[in-house]
Structure 1
């Protein structure tokens, strides 16, 4: 069991080493990557550079994470090394540039695939006739022209559609990290050379159709892989969609004018009015008000702002007006540091990705050696050099791991549409792997288990007042107020009561609201503030969730509020307990608020952790994962680090765009999909491993047959296609299993 004390101590103990680790690491953007093989080649190259202790490259995020021990690597040297390989390394992460690059790559893939399908179809038609020639379908004198036609139609596919594979294959070979592209290049080039030679010799035994099929299937795999590539850059960019790009400043004439936030320097004075969101970190110089800081801290209650208080970019001023001294410009704000940290977390590779990489690295040299061995054996058996090379081509084609590259994307693709229909948005394919082992679920509180506005708990009218009149008075006083309590009141009674809109309303930041009308003066706010206004109140314990009212100097009563539990939250926690999972509550809110909610949700107090910053939430998750496998469920920007860093991140409800992107799974409609998501992911990972097992078994069985010359290159291409189809049909079981598990969860 993890108590509050021992996990908090562990977080404190881990903080210093984490700071030291950050000093010895840096994140870079890689421009020009078009597939996972590009990332493997760059990673291998960076790991060979002086002073680099470890380098990881994430193709999906266009990110490279460099670690060193004592001496920082020469950045210019790293840039030159990457440039020699055909890519660009940038010291700054630009989500817009990354998004443009991925969109361009996807469009190119679509065009290459279109060419491959159209011309490949025409190339296959004469090839099919050649297959049927032994059955009398084609006269002998037409066989060479048909073989030539197959080759002519294959030219656009080989020269255009497959050109990317050749470039990447050469680059990875030069980096001493050959991958699938190298193998594809060898197979296509060998098949075409042998085919052209056969045509020159007047023979009709050509293998253009095998090369076309190989290129087409690989383009399909790459296109599916690119469909999830935008996640990481969207996260980083999404963090800034909610931040204004301009601020109000005093000009030389003392007037307020707008300026671009990225032009302001430290020490400048900016003005923030009620309802506005802050663009830069700052310290309050003058003024007073209340701010909504839940986006970054998770505290549900508005925080009073007085001179000396810090207010961070992304927070909204609800009441009052402030003058702030800028303490951090664009690039150095708290939100910038959060996005940078998330980029680092996304550079990590999941276990299944690492396993697939290891399999590919092991399989490729085995395939190449097998092809060479096949040529040698055929030659020793007296076969001609062209026949021997044909056997070698068959080995390359039959063993090309198309099924291996399709094993994971197919499961994701088949499950995605059905999941989306039921309100489960998959943003990271690693989620289907990670969720299989989850045994602990950590929930954020505000906005996740609860809604943004509190709800009415009890109404306590004073003598002479009834519930309806007291609620009507509150509605009149708080008309158009942005305070969460006012929003909760309006949401609760808006259908039955209509506020009186005339009169003058004045908000006292952090205290209450005054309404002056023809009927006199009415007050709504804290008990202490009403007493300061001369109102006599009975003895009251103010817990911060009470609204006290007075009319014409006399106390009218109070309305008690409580946090509104999100629909389905109680049932979700109950279902997770029934599945045998540990459930934790982790929040930036106060102890009192967290304990009150935990009691309503049947969560043990020993598993409740409060007043945690975004960084502390991430540290908590990291510490807990040393003894558990954690899913984190949250909704605010303050949850972004924990969502990206957890084994499984799930964003729920009206999550900000950045939070939804940072999470591997997004549940926009209902939190009660969390248990079903975990069950689905467990079965999905099983299908992934089944696909990988089949892909490897296929190679183990057919490579020896091809080496001995028992598999014709055309049959090899057909076998390779059938292997991919087996992966496809197995992945289609995802649809049936998805619906059954969602139904059982409901």
Structure 2
């Protein structure tokens, strides 16, 4: 019997937390629960958390997203098992509670503040104790025993409380790991700090040798710098799921049995409820239209630029916007089962997959713990056997622990990422994910969305020169009264002017009104009884009285730098594709103008993800560039993703990089900087390895004290930082090369 089935089912979680059973939902015969897990920091944590839960045969899936801390859990047993699973996580050192995105604060924000406070305290202690150490060094042989003892006691008074506070991020993690039968990088770090402080206290009050308070403070300060930088670059990864949760928190107008309307939260809508949609309302849940006819703006959901005509029997989805006329709809799903909720799940699944990316620093760290523990233990045993004295054996073992502490390793990646991110920021690219540059450096395929990415995302009148001024002003007099995208395009082209009289909007058809004594109609070809052309462009027609209708042609204009960007990426040998939710005609036209051989149209979010997965299965590392809400799941699912500053908020949140100036030409530069950054990271690892190859034998041989070890460790950290700064110096040359 499994571990969980052997235990009695606990109906309340430990620690007085809210009962997670209240958050369990049943779908397709399985119970599902989302939990916020604290304390997970690496790929090993993912393995331990998921492995502990999967020991229970009833658990179908357990997926932890390292970036957000969100665990998606499903099982086939009773809902009462929820508390047992929460307590299991607590027992292995990962406390968890129900995930409530609308109420929950991002736990990483508080962790960032704790690291910043710890770093400040460690820096204060290091600066002050070094001043005292300088006095001790300069007065060596001349300072009285009483004054020397006073200096040591004053150093202890500064460092011991500071180390107890600043070392908590390492101590808590190390204690949790040891208590549950495993070790991590924080164990040797904590051991080095404890031993250095403990030996120094002994020397201060019971001996007359050297103390190493300054080494402990310096060690903590440099380690906290690396950890804080890494946390800052990881922190934004959870914005996508939180942004989607905020978008789902909408209201709805429900029609009561007596015909009256009542405003309710969207989360209270149930299947079968009849809802009223006024013009401008966002559809809160999935459903079907019962009565009325109106155009729907589906751009955020499908990427389609042309409005969708909705009438009785039309299926509609959450996130669409009613444009023209009132509608009545019947809800067919709750908010948590609507399209936006499905997109949120797709985004989350994509982030989980990406969180399994093994960073270069994680790969290097795998060797650190066993090697350091072995070296320190062998040094201690060897020196004790040779000298028979615990003091030199302990001092040399501490020196090994300190000199091998992963300050250089901890700074090797974050320092490069910070410098590279700053360089790209000055070039108009915001880097939001710490490991995005590593993933961007390895891409060999680029997938573009069409609408709003390769194109500007809004229709423009393209045959204005073929129209007379009178025709343009007549159409504009009607268009100025409408929110329809094509009407806005006409109004923008004509500029400010008068408005027609007696204007009425025919849902799915067009506008009717009078202007300067003439009867005007402006709308679709079908509505006016005209045969539509087969061109890729979008059309609207103007009829003045009984005259022959005049065609207004619209097109989603290609971004000025799209062709150049695609050409430069092609020149690098990258595979380029375009995936669009738009119709085949406009998509084919854009693909032809960009010279793209690989493109697809009419895709839903799931279809885009399927294509990305197919490319990955073929061995590609994929970069996705998109802007709409419908692109958010694909952005999260790609190996690395880019969004534009004009994109939907959720797309920016799901992306790893945001092009601030809405210029695609910054994309090749970002790829070049990422490749350079990876080279600097590898160089930093080489420097750290060379440092250890030289310093560790000296420490093992007894030629290095803990203080010298701390200085050498700090020097290696400064060296990798200076190497990282070389990235900034190549900015002008790289820009010139890219342009």
Question: What SS class does the counterpart of residue 291 from structure 2 fall into?
Answer: strand
Aligned pairs (5 A) from 1:492-503: 492-494=493-495, 498-503=496-501
**Per-residue deviation at 1:255?**
2.4
Aligned pairs (5 A) from 1:399-438: 399-438=404-443
Partner of 1:10: none
The separation in 1 between residues aligned to 2:322 and 2:445, in whole angstroms, is: 36
**Per-residue deviation at 1:74?**
5.7
The separation in 2 between residues aligned to 1:57 and 1:699, in whole angstroms, is: 35
| Residues 699/205 of structure 1: CA separation in 2 closer, same or farther (3 Å cut) | same
Partner of 1:635: 627
Question: What SS class does the counterpart of residue 304 from structure 1 fall into?
Answer: strand
Matched, 1:389 2:417: no
- Normalization by structure 2: what TM-score? 0.90
Partner of 1:504: 502
Partner of 1:719: 712
Partner of 2:20: none
Partner of 1:239: 244
**Per-residue deviation at 1:309?**
1.3
Question: What SS class does the counterpart of residue 220 from structure 1 fall into?
Answer: helix
| Residues 518/46 of structure 1: CA separation in 2 closer, same or farther (3 Å cut) | closer
CA contact (8 A) 2:296 2:309 kept: yes
The separation in 2 between residues aligned to 1:86 and 1:286, in whole angstroms, is: 55
**Per-residue deviation at 1:398?**
0.5
The separation in 2 between residues aligned to 1:239 and 1:326, in whole angstroms, is: 20
Partner of 2:605: 614
**Per-residue deviation at 1:553?**
2.4
Aligned pairs (5 A) from 1:310-329: 310-329=315-334
The separation in 2 between residues aligned to 1:539 and 1:188, in whole angstroms, is: 78
Question: What SS class does the counterpart of residue 651 from structure 1 fall into?
Answer: strand
Partner of 1:14: none
The separation in 2 between residues aligned to 1:366 and 1:284, in whole angstroms, is: 66
Matched, 1:487 2:488: yes
Which sits farther off after the overlay, 62-71 or 279-288?
Answer: 62-71
Question: What SS class does the counterpart of residue 655 from structure 1 fall into?
Answer: coil
| Residues 493/139 of structure 1: CA separation in 2 closer, same or farther (3 Å cut) | farther
Partner of 1:366: 371
Partner of 2:225: 220
CA contact (8 A) 1:643 1:649 kept: yes
| Residues 350/502 of structure 1: CA separation in 2 closer, same or farther (3 Å cut) | closer
Aligned pairs (5 A) from 1:653-664: 653-664=645-656
| Residues 696/55 of structure 1: CA separation in 2 closer, same or farther (3 Å cut) | farther
**Per-residue deviation at 1:54?**
8.8
Counterpart among 717, 721, 727 of residue 728 in structure 1: 721
| Residues 181/433 of structure 1: CA separation in 2 closer, same or farther (3 Å cut) | same
Aligned pairs (5 A) from 1:48-447: 48-49=52-53, 50-51=55-56, 57-64=64-71, 75-90=82-97, 92=99, 94=101, 96-99=103-106, 101-134=107-140, 138=143, 141-243=146-248, 245-348=250-353, 353-382=358-387, 384-447=389-452
**Per-residue deviation at 1:446?**
0.7
The separation in 1 between residues aligned to 2:450 and 2:702, in whole angstroms, is: 64
Matched, 1:586 2:591: no
Partner of 1:691: 684
The separation in 2 between residues aligned to 1:229 and 1:692, in whole angstroms, is: 21
The separation in 1 between residues aligned to 2:45 and 2:624, in whole angstroms, is: 33
Question: What SS class does the counterpart of residue 522 from structure 2 fall into?
Answer: strand
**1:304-333 C-alpha deviation (Å, 9 max, x unpaired):** 101111211111112122111111222211
Gaps of at least 5 residues in structure 2 are 1-27
Matched, 1:624 2:615: yes
Partner of 1:29: 35
Which sits farther off after the overlay, 24-33 or 478-487?
Answer: 24-33
Matched, 1:703 2:696: yes
**Per-residue deviation at 1:714?**
0.3
**Per-residue deviation at 1:72?**
12
**1:82-115 C-alpha deviation (Å, 9 max, x unpaired):** 212444324545365251x222222222222222
**Per-residue deviation at 1:214?**
1.3
**Per-residue deviation at 1:46?**
4.0
Question: What SS class does the counterpart of residue 450 from structure 2 fall into?
Answer: coil
**Per-residue deviation at 1:243?**
4.5
**1:336-363 C-alpha deviation (Å, 9 max, x unpaired):** 1221222222223568735433432322
| Residues 567/95 of structure 1: CA separation in 2 closer, same or farther (3 Å cut) | farther
**Per-residue deviation at 1:633?**
0.7
Partner of 2:511: 513
| Residues 179/66 of structure 1: CA separation in 2 closer, same or farther (3 Å cut) | farther
Q: CA RMSD in A?
A: 2.8
CA contact (8 A) 1:293 1:302 kept: yes
**Per-residue deviation at 1:207?**
1.0
- Normalization by structure 1: what TM-score? 0.89
| Residues 542/513 of structure 1: CA separation in 2 closer, same or farther (3 Å cut) | farther
CA contact (8 A) 2:440 2:640 kept: yes
**Per-residue deviation at 1:456?**
2.2
Which sits farther off after the overlay, 386-395 or 257-266?
Answer: 257-266
Partner of 2:544: 551
The separation in 2 between residues aligned to 1:378 and 1:302, in whole angstroms, is: 80
**Per-residue deviation at 1:545?**
1.3
**Per-residue deviation at 1:567?**
2.7
**1:280-309 C-alpha deviation (Å, 9 max, x unpaired):** 222111111111112111111111101111
Question: What SS class does the counterpart of residue 718 from structure 2 fall into?
Answer: helix
CA contact (8 A) 1:444 1:634 kept: yes
Question: What SS class does the counterpart of residue 513 from structure 1 fall into?
Answer: strand
CA contact (8 A) 1:522 1:553 kept: no
Question: What SS class does the counterpart of residue 400 from structure 2 fall into?
Answer: helix
CA contact (8 A) 1:375 1:389 kept: yes
Counterpart among 634, 647, 651 of residue 643 in structure 2: 651
The separation in 1 between residues aligned to 2:599 and 2:531, in whole angstroms, is: 34
CA contact (8 A) 1:443 1:449 kept: yes
The separation in 2 between residues aligned to 1:586 and 1:727, in whole angstroms, is: 41
The separation in 2 between residues aligned to 1:57 and 1:244, in whole angstroms, is: 24
Aligned residues: 707
| Residues 653/32 of structure 1: CA separation in 2 closer, same or farther (3 Å cut) | closer
| Residues 403/129 of structure 1: CA separation in 2 closer, same or farther (3 Å cut) | same
CA contact (8 A) 2:431 2:656 kept: yes
